[in-house]
Chains A and B, each alone.
Chain A
Amino acid sequence: MNSLDLARWQFAITTVYHFIFVPITIGLGFLVAGLQTAWYRNGNLKYLRATKFFGKLFLINFAIGVVTGIVQEFQFGMNWSSYSRFVGDIFGAPLAMEGLLAFFLESTFLGLWIFGWDRLPKKIHLASIWLASFGTLLSAYFILAANAWMQHPVGYILNEIKGRAELTDIVKVLTQNTALATFSHTIAFAAFTSAAFMAGISALLIVRKKDIEMSRTTLKLGLIVTIISFIGVGVTGDINARIMTEQQPMKMAAAEALYSTTDSAPFSLFTVGTLDGSRSVFQIGLPSMLSFMSTGDFNGVVEGVNDLQAQYETQYGPGDYTPNIPLAYWSFRLMIGFGAIGLFFALLALWQMRKGGLPSGKWFKPAMLSLPFLPLLANSFGWIFTETARQPWAVFGLIRTSDGVSQVVSAGAVLFTMIAFTILYGALAVIEFGLIRRVIHLGPLDEVDYADPQLGGSDTKQLVASY
């Protein structure tokens, strides 16, 4: 493997790993804020126990999300310096804004929330978790606007002399439909992910008969949010599919392994055999569905891979403009499939709870144990699809990934850091998983009371939160 392949693998490993923790953090922040608000308003201590319990899980998860995020900020310059030179005038701005507007907000107010139980009056303490959560949302917005620009560059001109893209309209970059659609889809998925996480863990508490009063409430909350947010995932996914067909038709064709331009194209559910287009394969499909998904019309024309390849060769010169089709085809289906299984489990559990009972049956424990993992898989495949099916482009139509890699970094150096990050990340995953299991094993606090503190707290009283 050369340094390009290695740099791509490193980006894939560090980014997919980082994004395991990100959606849980974004959604769980808001869920915990909601629970604390419920306690603030009605004083019911089960909500306080829930806030403390899920807050603990939230923070264990947040720690890894934060530290792996630093790598994201640095590796553009380290492994992709040619890319950075080319796009810095545009791509750097949302990254800097993310730091200035979002990272400061979330880190500062999260610190206040964690250590502020006996330092901040009740109301300000509650406000701090909302502000921290709002910070995570802002962060998602800026980084997704940057990513959307890679999918569909707008608001720029090409400076031939300097050999780079230059910003002409920041508003366009931050408000183009690609950015808004990606943001809403990702946030809906974050809500889905974190709610499934909450529901799955609450179910495990119920199986272990721990604090049924609290876990019943959080199970129900988790399930309802899982279901509602999945509707959001579907709606925003549909919008994304149409935007993608219009802006990156090759990506849609790859997702469907559709080689020839077709009207009334079916949506392929499943394929047996190769997807290299050399021979027809056994497929089960929904008639006309792909046409509808991509164009909003059952008879709409969907362009095929071969036609697009020919078209791009005339437009951009000779080259291979076809992404890895089996990867695109399967990751697209796995994204939807894992999400749908999660939804199914959530519906089943909520159905059993409809008359005030608790879900039961042999299916319950394994299904709920898998519930937190299903959306994580769906997220990962979604990003693997979005990023690999844009290839060979780093920024669609502007710069190829192969032209973006650092020229002065040797393959050996990239390999070394990739192995080191992988080992480190693996070890962190093991530690984090152990801690989460431990938190579930202990369950919520048996008893908790609260005295509204003065701003600044006391000099001598024992600390509620300490390292």
Chain B
Amino acid sequence: MTFQTVWFLLIAVLWIGYFVLEGFDFGVGMLLPTVSKNEADRRAVLTTLGPVWDGNEVWLLVAGGATFAAFPEWYATLFSGFYLPLFLILVALIIRGVAFEYRSKYGKAQWRQRWDVAIVISSALPALLWGVAFANIVRGVPLEKASSGSIEYVGGFFNLLNPYALLGGVVTLSVFYTHGAVFLALKTAGSIRERANSIALKAGLVAAVAAVAFLVWTNMMLPEIDSTVLLLSVVVALLWVAGLAMNFKGREGWAFVFSAATIATFVSTLFFALYPRVMPSSLGSQFDLTITNASSTDYTLKVMTVVAVVMTPLVLLYQGWTYWVFRKRVSASQIVNPERGILDEVSHTLHL
């Protein structure tokens, strides 16, 4: 196996980590008003994300950095080509992070309602756009050799809004929404848990229809039937059904494992459909970006491999440990004075 293949796989792993983890963050953000009946509920819902959302988002930063290091041509073509969608994702991620940190600082209803709207929109938008972006990559976009010799994106913004890509967006949106509900059912207690559980079932069925349609389309789009992609697509569907069944039976831990596994397999399917290309061109395969013509030198890839092999298990270990530390369910009754913000004028004491 070449170092280029190793890094193609590692980047797939980083995106899997990102979508499995921030996927439920997006879902929880979108569900905030739906799953909560009062202020205590809303704060309990957000508190399930509190210790972990930032670490989850780092998977994206590392995926971006690793693409830059291992496949600079891919990074450059993709980020300059998908300019506006990425800009919208950035704005959403900025607003979302700040909203989490600041919304409960004050008790004023208007302050909180505004941040809540921001959380819903800034969770839904990237959940949709990541699907659109990845579907476009798999489908192929207009890439051409520029006068400088590099392969550049020559489509506009609206080129990215084709039916297949939009369906991809609906898939990630609905899958992350369901994944968030499954996560909440696992991480909360009381009425939030029950509501999350029933939402997960309904949303899961919608997501199933969208995902099956998308996977069928993907398989038919390939020049010839690829047995690995076909097999993985079937596994995606089976895992999702298993997750919904576990959710229905109230086996929340298993439901989460299966929905995480579905996302992981789904992302793998897309990467398998791509390999060895990283960005196929719709204008002819001579303009495809592949793991060969987009990659860094073997020396750089070797250096990065050593770093990744040493650090990734360590990261998984301590990030996993965080989930273990915060394994207890959060219930609305555990939130102290939910209506009050910590920066409101109150009797100023704290019992740790």
Contact = CB atoms under 8 A, between A and B. Distances in A.
A194 B269 CA distance: 48
B51 to A, nearest CB: 4
A92 B84 CA distance: 23
Contacts of B102: 60, 63, 431, 435
B296 A92 contact: yes
B330 A463 contact: yes
A211 to B, nearest CB: 10
Interface string B63-74: 011111111110
B352 A111 contact: no
Given A63-B98, A104-B55, A111-B52, A466 B336 contact: yes
Given A114-B51, A166-B297, A463-B335, A77 B78 contact: yes
Contacts of B65: 73, 92, 95-100
Contact of A100 (B308, B335, B345): B308
Contact of B329 (A435, A459, A465): A459
Interface string A203-216: 00000000000000
Interface string B174-210: 0000000000000000000000000000000000000
B93 interface: yes
Nearest to A83: B76
A438 B343 contact: yes
A407 B145 CA distance: 12
B327 A456 contact: yes
Interface string B26-62: 0000000000000000011011011110110110111
B336 A463 contact: yes
Given A93-B304, A112-B51, A438-B343, A107 B103 contact: no
B311 to A, nearest CB: 5
Given A82-B148, A107-B57, A466-B50, A96 B72 contact: no
A92 B50 contact: no
Interface-centre pick from A428, A439, A466 (highest chain B CB count, 10 A):
A466
Contact of B75 (A88, A424, A446): A88
B325 A119 contact: yes
Nearest to B144: A408
A456 B325 contact: yes
Given A116-B51, A417-B87, A456-B327, A449 B297 contact: no
Interface-centre pick from A73, A92, A163 (highest chain B CB count, 10 A):
A92
A464 B324 CA distance: 18
| Interface residues of chain A: helix, strand, loop or mixed (majority) | helix
B326 interface: yes
Interface-centre pick from B50, B94, B304, B312 (highest chain A CB count, 10 A):
B94
A110 B101 CA distance: 13
B350 A447 contact: yes
Contacts of A77: 64, 68, 75-76, 78-80
Interface string B326-345: 11111101111000001101
B68 A84 contact: yes
A117 B345 contact: no
Interface stretch (B213-221, B235-243, B246-254, B314-322): B314-322
Contacts of A74: 64, 79, 86, 90
**Contact-residue bracket for chain A:** 35 or more
Contacts, number: 284
Contact of B303 (A111, A118, A170, A424): A170
Contacts of A431: 98, 102
Nearest to A406: B80
Given A413-B84, A438-B343, A458-B328, A114 B352 contact: no
Interface-centre pick from A96, A120, A447 (highest chain B CB count, 10 A):
A96
Contacts of B288: none
A269 interface: no
A81 interface: yes
Contacts of A466: 43-44, 46-47, 50, 104, 330, 334-336
A88 B87 contact: no
B349 A408 contact: no
Nearest to B348: A446
Interface string A312-331: 00000000000000000000
B1 interface: no
A423 to B, nearest CB: 10
Interface stretch (A64-72, A303-311, A369-377, A382-390): A64-72
B152 interface: yes
B205 to A, nearest CB: 30
Interface in A442-467: 442-443, 445-451, 455-467
B146 interface: yes
B149 interface: yes
Given A111-B54, A167-B299, 20 more contacts: A60-B101, A88-B68, A88-B69, A88-B75, A89-B69, A95-B68, A96-B69, A99-B61, A99-B62, A100-B66, A112-B51, A115-B50, A163-B148, A167-B303, A417-B83, A435-B102, A449-B351, A449-B352, A451-B352, A463-B336
Interface of B: 43-44, 46-47, 49-52, 54-55, 57-58, 60-62, 64-73, 75-81, 83-84, 86-87, 90-91, 93-95, 97-98, 100-105, 146, 148-150, 152-154, 296-297, 299-300, 303-304, 307-308, 311-312, 315, 318-319, 322, 324-331, 333-336, 342-343, 345, 347-352
Interface of A: 52, 56, 59-60, 63-64, 66-71, 73-74, 76-79, 81-82, 84-85, 87-93, 95-101, 103-105, 107-112, 114-120, 163-164, 166-168, 170, 406-409, 413, 417, 420-421, 424, 428, 431, 435, 438-439, 442-443, 445-451, 455-467
12 contacts: A67-B98, A73-B65, A76-B79, A77-B64, A88-B68, A92-B296, A95-B65, A104-B319, A115-B50, A428-B98, A439-B343, A447-B348
A-B pairs, 7 with minimum CB distance: A88-B72, A77-B79, A92-B69, A92-B68, A99-B62, A81-B76, A81-B80
